Amino acid sequence: MKSKNFLMIALMFGVFSAATLNAQAPKPGEQVDCVFKYKVDDKDVELKYDLFVPKNYTANKKFPLMLFLHGAGERGDDLNQVRKWGPPKLVKKRKDFPFIVISPQCPRDDWWTTKADALAKMVDEVAGKLSVDKKKMYCTGLSMGGYGTWTLCAKHPKLFAAAAPVCGGGTPKSASALKDLPIWTFHGDADNVVPLSGTQKMIDAIKEAGGKNAKFTIYKGVGHNSWSETYANEELYKWLLSHSRGG
């Protein structure tokens, strides 16, 4: 699809912020800065996010969607920080990445675990305005974003087809909400920032709740940065795409 046509679609659906459109017409294969606006107690709130669209994007085909949640070190108001790790870093070179990728930025001194409802609304908005296969939407995140992934999926268990939290942790009491969701989680056994037990307790609780779709990869001798190896693993993306919601 040509840039002009994609710009017309963006304008029609109102996906992109005015600042982004004025600066550059977004094209398939590019990652652009966007703004999601919502209300909290009748107050206007904004979340900045990066949006990547695969180079073969066309409105005539449905594409899988991935929500990526960054770690605590990337909070703030500079989206360049979000592109340091994971999928938003990967797509800078890999234009054929097969997912539409949403990569929001958490405000400074805030946490993803407090924004589950806003993130769910963001996913719904983008999925409703781009050509998204709503049965193939996925969530992943690292460290603070791993915690956010566990929390978001527990609060909205029907939103995603599968999830991949990395070196995070959750609330074991939420296991009953997660027991039917395919989960592949990752953690280094030498992590001295977020202990391995944070993930292990979630896996144990899901199994105790009757869940059979969760698997756990432990990296021997790896510290907190278990995300570099995880997001370089092509098998993760194949695994995600093998799952469809309701199928």
Q: Is residue 171, in this structure, part of any structural domain at all? A: yes
Task: Give residue-wise pLDDT tens across range 74-111.
Answer: 999 999 999 999 999 999 999 999 999 999 999 999 99
Q: Is residue 13, in this structure, part of any structural domain at all? A: yes
Q: Is residue 192, in this structure, part of any structural domain at all? A: yes
Tell me, what's the pLDDT at 41? 79
Cα angle 89, 94, 99 (rounded to 5 degrees) comes to: 85
Tell me, what's the pLDDT at 3? 39
Report the side by side order of strands in the sheet with 132-142. 31-40, 43-52, 100-104, 63-69, 132-142, 162-166, 183-188, 214-219
- How many whole angstroms separate alpha carbon 105 and alpha carbon 140? 14
Q: What is the CATH number of the domain that holds 167?
A: 3.40.50.1820
Q: Is residue 38, in this structure, part of any structural domain at all? A: yes
Structure tokens at 230: 């995880």
- How many whole angstroms separate alpha carbon 209 and alpha carbon 227? 27
Q: Is residue 246, in this structure, part of any structural domain at all? A: no
- How many whole angstroms separate alpha carbon 125 and alpha carbon 119? 10
Q: Is residue 247, in this structure, part of any structural domain at all? A: no
Number of domains in the chain: 1
* Parent domain of 44: 3-241
Q: Is residue 163, in this structure, part of any structural domain at all? A: yes
- Global pTM? 0.89
Average pLDDT over residues 109-124: 95
Q: Is residue 130, in this structure, part of any structural domain at all? A: yes
